[in-house]
Chains A and B, each alone.
Chain A
Amino acid sequence: MRDVVPFSPPAEVDFDAGTRPYWEALREGALSIQRCAHCHAFRTPPSRYCPHCRSTEDEWPRLSGRARLYTYTIVALDRRDAEGPVYVAGLACPEEAPDTKVFCNIVDCTLDQIVIDMPLELVATEAGTDAARFRPAPATAQGGR
C-alpha cells in the first residue's frame, strides 16, 4: 500500500495578523481556531468580522484537538508514480465547533484506515509545520459521539 506522508513543509509560511494565533498554537502542539468574543460563535477560516454579529473582537481558545473527518483527497507526491507516497489533505470538524471545518493534513496512518466521519486527534508537530496535522483517534477517544 502507498505510504502516507506529511505535507512537505514550505520554505516559509506567510503569516498575516489574522492567522498568527492559529500558527502559534500549532507550534505548541495545540489546535486553536477563531471564536467571536461577543457571541462566542466559532468560525473558519479567520476573518475580520463575525458573520453572526459583525463584532471584530475575537478570541482563540485552545481546543481539545479531537475532531471528525468531514472529507479528504489523496494526492501523489509524484503524479507519474502510481505506487509512490501520497499526502492526504482534508477538512476536520473540531469537537468543540462541529459546524466549522479546518483545513488539515492526515498523517500517521495507512490509506485503508481513512474513512469519512472517522474520529481524529491532533498530532503535535515540530516548528515550521504547514497545516494542522491529525491522525486517526483510538476508538476509545470517540466518547459519546
Chain B
Amino acid sequence: MARNPLKDQVAVVGVGSTAYGRDQQRSLLSLGVEAALKAMADAGIDRRGIDGICGSGMSPLAVGNAGFLSVQGALGIEKVTWGKNGWLGSAFVFAVEAVFSGLCDTCLVVQSYRREVNMSRSAARDPFRLRASRFGETGGMGGRDFARRWLHSGEPYAAWMKRYMHDYGVGKDAFGLMAVNNRSHGARNPDAVIQRAITLDDYHASRMVWEPMQMLDMDIPVDGAEAFVITTAERARDLRQKPVTVHAMSLGGTRVGEFYENTLPWTENAFWVAMEGLWARSDLTRTDVDLFYPYDGYTIDAVAVVEAAGFCKPGEAGDYFRDCWDRRENILRLNGGRTLVTTGGGGLAHGRSGGSNLYAEAVRQLRGSQGERQARHADSALITIGSMYHDPSAVLLRAGERR
C-alpha cells in the first residue's frame, strides 16, 4: 500500500450544473458563473464561505477565459487563500489536495466547456467561434508544425484503435458497446443533449471519421459548465447535503506526455499508471465499485480505463462487455450485475464537458438524489477522466461520512 493520509478526510458538499446545449450563445465565464452559483446554493454556502477556487481552462491567461481569476471576479469573492487552473479530471483533484493540505477550507471548482470551432462543421462556420478561437491557442493541440503534430487530436486515438484491434485480433464491439451503453443512459437523462438510444448496428453504420473511428465513438461538443463545492469531512457534518467523501485519488503521468506520436504500449499508457496509483491507496477494490465513470471523450479512452482498472484483461473488453450485457436495458452491468457504467450518458450523450459531468453525476447518485434514474447500489463511484496520453485522474468517491 502507498500512503493515503487524505483518505475520507475531504467531501463534496455542493454541485451545480448548467443546461447543456449546442449553441447557448454564452461565454465560458457566464456558464461557469451559473454553475458556481448553483453549487454554492446547493451547499448552502455563500461567497464569503469560499476561500479557494479552481477554474477550468487550458490557458494560463485566466482572465477572459473561465479560469479561476475571472470566475472569482465575477462572483465577487473578495479573497481566497488558494487558487489554481486545472482541466479534465485534474481540477477536482487539485481542489481536494488544497482542502486536505489546509491551503483553503472550502474550495469552489468550476469547469466550463464550449463547442469550439474545430469540433464540428457548423461550429467552424460560426464567425463568433472563429474569432474567439484566435485568442485561445495557448496550449494543447494545434501547432502547425507537423513534425510534432497530427492534424486533429482524434487521429492518434483512431490510430490507437487500429493498433488495439491488430494486437488483440478483435473488432470494434468493445467501442460500440460502450457507445450503446452511454446512449442508453443518455436516453433516460432529461438533461442529455442526445436522448436517442442506439443499437450496435447503428454504431457500426455511423459515419466514418478517422477510420477506424466513427461518429458514434466521439463525444458531443456542447456549451455547458459544472461546479462543485469541496470542504473538509468535518465541516461537511454541519452542512445541508449528505456528504460524498473522497476515499482515494491518483493522477497519472508518463514521460511521453502530450506528444501523441510517442505512443507507449497499450498497458503502459497513462490510464494504467493512474489506476495503479489509485488501487495502491484504496481500501476498496474493483469489485467494491458500484458506479463506474470511465472518460468517454473517445470510446477508446473508456475501453482503456476499463482494462486499466482491471475489470478484464487487456484486449478482452469486447468479450467482457458481451458477458456483462443487460439485453433488456441495453446497458453494461459489471461485477456480476451490480456495477453500472456512466449513468447519465457521459460525453457521448449528455455532452462534452471534459469529464466534469461524470463527477457531477457520480456525486448525485451517491447522494441518492437521482429519482427515477437512481442506481440501486450507490455506495462507491470510480471516476477516471483524462487521456491515454496525458494527465488522467482516478478518483474513488464514497457515499456519506466515513469514520
Give residues in A with beta carbon < 8 Å to B: 7, 10, 12-16, 19, 22-23, 44-46, 51, 70-76, 79, 82, 86, 89-91, 101-103, 116-117, 130-131
Contact check, A101 vs B208: say whether CB atoms are below 8 A apart: no
Known: A44-B262, A91-B159, A103-B261. A73 touches B147 (CB 8 A): no
Q: List B contacts of A116 (CB < 8 A).
A: 162-163, 166
- Sampled A-B contacts (5; CB under 8 Å): A16-B145, A45-B262, A73-B158, A74-B208, A101-B263
- Extra contacts besides A70-B263, A73-B212 (12): CB < 8 Å: A14-B144, A14-B145, A19-B147, A45-B259, A72-B159, A75-B209, A75-B210, A75-B211, A91-B263, A102-B261, A103-B146, A131-B146
Q: List B contacts of A79 (CB < 8 A).
A: 207-209
Contact check, B163 vs A71: say whether CB atoms are below 8 A apart: yes
The CA-CA distance from A51 to B254 in the complex, in Å, is 12
Task: Say if the beta carbon of B64 comes within 8 Å of chain A.
Answer: no
Q: What DSSP secondary structure best describes chain B's contact surface?
A: loop
Contact check, B147 vs A46: say whether CB atoms are below 8 A apart: yes
Task: Say if the beta carbon of B255 comes within 8 Å of chain A.
Answer: yes
CB closest chain-B residue, reference A16? B145
Residue among A10, A14, A45, A82 making CB contact with B261, cutoff 8 Å = A45
Task: Say if the beta carbon of B213 comes within 8 Å of chain A.
Answer: yes
Known: A45-B259, A101-B262, A102-B261. A89 touches B155 (CB 8 A): yes
Known: A14-B143, A16-B145, A90-B159. A103 touches B210 (CB 8 A): no
Q: List B contacts of A130 (CB < 8 A).
A: 146
Give residues in B with beta carbon < 8 Å to A: 143-151, 155, 158-160, 162-163, 166, 207-213, 255, 259, 261-263
Q: List A contacts of B155 (CB < 8 A).
A: 73, 75, 89
Contact check, A73 vs B261: say whether CB atoms are below 8 A apart: no
The CA-CA distance from A74 to B158 in the complex, in Å, is 9
Q: List B contacts of A72 (CB < 8 A).
A: 159, 162
CB closest chain-A residue, reference B162? A71
Q: List B contacts of A23 (CB < 8 A).
A: 147
The CA-CA distance from A116 to B211 in the complex, in Å, is 14
The CA-CA distance from A14 to B191 in the complex, in Å, is 43
Q: List A contacts of B146 (CB < 8 A).
A: 10, 13, 103, 130-131
Q: List A contacts of B212 (CB < 8 A).
A: 73
Contact check, A71 vs B160: say whether CB atoms are below 8 A apart: yes
Known: A10-B146, A90-B159, A130-B146. A74 touches B210 (CB 8 A): yes
The CA-CA distance from A46 to B213 in the complex, in Å, is 28
Contact check, A22 vs B147: say whether CB atoms are below 8 A apart: yes
Q: List A contacts of B160 (CB < 8 A).
A: 71
Q: List B contacts of A75 (CB < 8 A).
A: 151, 155, 209-211
Q: Report the minimum CB–CB distance from A47 to chain B (whole Å).
A: 8
Q: Report the minimum CB–CB distance from B150 to chain A (whole Å).
A: 6
The CA-CA distance from A46 to B158 in the complex, in Å, is 23
Residue among B150, B166, B213, B263 making CB contact with A89, cutoff 8 Å = B150
Contact check, B144 vs A10: say whether CB atoms are below 8 A apart: yes
Contact check, A45 vs B147: say whether CB atoms are below 8 A apart: yes
The CA-CA distance from A102 to B147 in the complex, in Å, is 8
Q: Report the minimum CB–CB distance from A43 to chain B (whole Å).
A: 9
- Nearest 6 pairs between A and B by C-beta? A74-B211, A71-B163, A73-B158, A14-B144, A19-B147, A45-B148
Contact check, A101 vs B261: say whether CB atoms are below 8 A apart: yes
Q: List B contacts of A14 (CB < 8 A).
A: 143-145
The CA-CA distance from A103 to B148 in the complex, in Å, is 7
Q: Report the minimum CB–CB distance from A122 to chain B (whole Å).
A: 14
Known: A19-B147, A45-B148, A116-B166. A71 touches B159 (CB 8 A): yes
Contact check, B150 vs A15: say whether CB atoms are below 8 A apart: no
The CA-CA distance from A19 to B145 in the complex, in Å, is 8
Q: Report the minimum CB–CB distance from B260 to chain A (whole Å).
A: 8
The CA-CA distance from A91 to B210 in the complex, in Å, is 15
The CA-CA distance from A15 to B146 in the complex, in Å, is 9
Q: Report the minimum CB–CB distance from A38 to chain B (whole Å).
A: 18
Q: List A contacts of B143 (CB < 8 A).
A: 14
Residue among A13, A73, A131 making CB contact with B162, cutoff 8 Å = A73
Q: List B contacts of A82 (CB < 8 A).
A: 207-208
Q: Report the minimum CB–CB distance from B242 to chain A (whole Å).
A: 46
CB closest chain-B residue, reference A12? B144
Q: Report the minimum CB–CB distance from B204 to chain A (whole Å).
A: 14
Known: A44-B261, A70-B163. A76 touches B158 (CB 8 A): no
Q: Which of B155, B259, B261 has the most CB of A within 10 A?
A: B261
Contact check, B145 vs A103: say whether CB atoms are below 8 A apart: no
Q: Which of A82, A101, A103, A131 has the most CB of B within 10 A?
A: A103
CB closest chain-A residue, reference B121? A79
